[in-house]
Chain A
């Protein structure tokens, strides 16, 4: 410890300990830094390499990339139908998954005792571990044939009613926007639940006890103490779920019906950005392939924006909560 072998070797004011660190110590730090920087490097490389591969599409179409017509044989690659499909299916998934997820998160944090909460968390974890392709397989072979009949009867029931006919009327198909939305809802429920739960868990006990002490029922306590404290964080959790729903590929590719149309009919077959990439990539070459990679670039950009906003909100909510 006392043997100082610095380059100067002169007696002087004692150096701070950090300057005497041996080589192995410093190289370990550099290795860990490199591993950490890998995250940033990969993200930059993703943006750079995929944009480069998609360049022919961007150049050929210009703003036409947001055009309505997708017709590979005649070299028309407008992506609007897929962006529309992604937006619609994600919206359906969010509308269905969020109330359920927040309900379960409240059940876990405010209602059931700890020993009951654990099995419920296991079930949610099981849901998260079912692979996308298994949801897709079940979706196309079991769920789609079953729900096709329901769509059909709803479709004939609403025929003639102005707005409902446009949303739920024929043409109906088991593989549709709505089916994809339902399957996506199953898939994003675990992440929305676990983040909502994390946010709700930061509500100070003293707020909750205060509400109870004033004679509030549990619902009134949730409305008065939990909700104001955690609504921001829950919005973040919902956005994260949205990001997942937008990028979910295989399940959507199997049950969405693969039809590049823009229609208000939710029970009609459609297509989404990740689904079309998965389904059409194998036979794509030239501008076609560039267009599909370009869809990936757009998807990457959308999900990064959504995720950055969501993480900022969730991070702030949890930090404020636990501070």
Chain B
């Protein structure tokens, strides 16, 4: 087709005010990202700078001293023990239940009313404030069985459950149907297909979703306030007696007037952030290495 030069529309970039507006919009988007970057970088720099000064093997293992003690004394050993016990128990309860729930949603419930309701309410449940979970466990558990690490684990478990359900559900949706159909054709039951074909195919995504849920739970303070009663002594038995955790210690030290206590809070904050980042990094690596199906 012969098109003369005169008829050809201009394919060059828009000019004048239109172009300026477009440029301004793009710059504003970049500015938005920078605005988010600034507080993140400031927080991380402060936590690393002030936390690194105090962290040592002794800090991570020593008992919690009274608030007046200088930064060189004591540590947060009991808090680290408590966090591992509480988050560990919460994981043991919430992750298997969450995976089972997601299996119901995706493999059994399908598009039925009940499955859609449960899926919807799991989404809604992720928005329930963590402090409400704390009050809930206080009302049904602590009032009858006293404060304990286990009560804290129940609260964290309630927070993790919908997150695990949702992330697992997303991963199960990605497993291609021919895989299931192939196994059914060989005569396998649904339970067998699910446990030996569908779950292994999605395991990378499921594990990384669970790790992210654990990372979030490890940093939660509000649900622990009324369930473990933040003490300063180590309590290796999560089923009996009050306990403590890293975020609870940060919370009680943050308002302290003593610089030693504040320094310990920074050290604990760095410990907590490192734990969360390691979990997140592990999730990323697992996603990259072991995910067979992705969006």
Query: What's the nearest-Cβ distance from chain B to residue A89, in Å?
Result: 13
**Contact call B128/A304, Cβ cutoff below 8 A:** yes
B124 CB contacts on chain A under 8 angstroms: 43, 304, 307-308, 311
Identify which of residues 135-165 in chain A touch chain B, using a CB-to-CB cut-off of 8 Å: 135-138, 140-142
Q: Which residues of B contact A31 (CB under 8 A)?
A: 100
Known A35-B104, A134-B47, A136-B251: A278·B31 in contact at CB below 8 Å: no
Q: A254: which B residues are within 8 A, CB to CB?
A: 251, 254-255
The CA of A120 and the CA of B18, in the complex, are separated in Å by 28
Asked if B251 and A250 sit within 8 Å, CB to CB, the answer is: yes
Binary flags per residue of A49-85, CB closer than 8 Å to B gives 1, else 0: 1101100000000000000000000000000000000
Residues of A within 8 A of B190 (CB): 21, 25, 28-29
Nearest chain A CB to B129 CB, angstrom units: 2
- The reply to whether A248 and B129 contact each other, CB–CB distance below 8 Å, is yes
Task: Determine whether the beta carbon of B128 is less than 8 Å from that of A134.
Answer: no
CB distance from B223 to the nearest CB of A (A): 9
Closest residue of A by beta carbon distance from B283: A125
Query: Which residue of chain A has the shortest Cβ distance to B192 in the bound complex?
Result: A25
B127 contact from A102, A136, A244, Cβ within 8 A: A244
A133 close to B247 (CB less than 8 A)? yes
Q: How many residue pairs between the two chains, A and B, have CB atoms under 8 Å in the bound complex?
A: 263
Residues on the A chain within 8 Å of B215, using CB: 129
Find out whether the CB atom of B255 lies under 8 angstroms from the CB atom of A140.
Answer: yes
Q: Is A95 an interface residue (CB 8 A)?
A: no
Q: Are B36 and A127 in contact (CB under 8 A)?
A: yes
Inter-chain CA distance A299–B98, complex, in Å, is 25
- Which residues of the other chain, B, contact A218 by a CB distance below 8 angstroms? 22, 25-26
Tell me the interface secondary structure of chain A in the complex.
helix
Q: How many residues of A contact B (CB 8 A)?
A: 87
Contacts of B158 in A (CB 8 A): 42
* CA distance in complex: A25, B187 (Å): 13
For the complex formed, measure the closest distance between the CB of B199 and the CB atoms of chain A, giving whole angstroms.
Answer: 12
Q: Given the complex, which residues of A lie within 8 Å of B13, measured CB to CB? A: 217
Contact among A24, A42, A141, A248 with B254 in the assembled complex (CB-CB below 8 Å): A141
Residues of A within 8 A of B114 (CB): 36
Whether A107 and B32, one on each chain, are in contact in the complex, defined by CB atoms closer than 8 angstroms, is yes
B266 at the interface (CB under 8 A from A): yes
Which residues in B have their C-beta under 8 angstroms from that of A36?
A: 100-101, 104-105, 109, 114-115, 118, 165
Chain A positions 200-235 with a Cβ under 8 Å from a chain B Cβ = 215, 217-220, 222
Choose among A132, A136, A140, A299 the residue that contacts B132 (Cβ–Cβ < 8 A): A299
Interface flags, B192-233, vs A, CB<8A=1, else 0: 101100000000000000000001101111100110000000
Query: B125 touches which one: A42, A129, A299 (CB < 8 A)?
Result: A42
Answer yes or no: A262 CB below 8 A from chain B CBs: no
> Which of B56-64, B65-73, B174-182, B271-279 contacts the other chain?
B271-279
Are A303 and B33 CB-contacts (below 8 A) given A38-B161, A220-B22, A311-B120?
Answer: no
* A124-B129 in contact (CB<8A): no
Bound CA span A71–B80, Å: 37
Can you list, as one digit per residue, whether each of A89-119 has a CB less than 8 Å from chain B (1) or not (0)?
0000000000111111011000100000000
B54 to chain A, nearest CB (A): 13
Listed A/B pairs (20) with beta-carbon separation below 8 Å: A21-B189, A35-B100, A39-B125, A39-B162, A40-B121, A43-B125, A132-B220, A133-B272, A134-B47, A186-B36, A215-B14, A220-B22, A249-B131, A250-B221, A250-B247, A281-B226, A303-B129, A303-B132, A304-B128, A311-B120
Q: Top 7 closest A-B pairs, CB basis?
A: A247-B129, A131-B219, A103-B32, A35-B100, A307-B127, A28-B191, A32-B104
Q: A141-B262, A186-B40 are in contact. List 14 more A-B contacts (CB 8 A).
A: A28-B191, A29-B190, A103-B32, A107-B33, A131-B218, A133-B221, A133-B251, A136-B254, A138-B43, A217-B14, A246-B129, A250-B251, A307-B127, A307-B128
The interface of chain B, by Cβ under 8 A from chain A, is 9, 13-14, 18-19, 21-22, 25-26, 28-33, 35-37, 39-40, 42-44, 46-47, 97-98, 100-101, 103-105, 107-109, 114-115, 117-118, 120-125, 127-133, 135-136, 138-140, 143, 158, 161-162, 165, 187, 189-192, 194-195, 215-216, 218-222, 225-226, 247, 250-251, 254-255, 262, 265-266, 269, 272-273, 276-277, 280
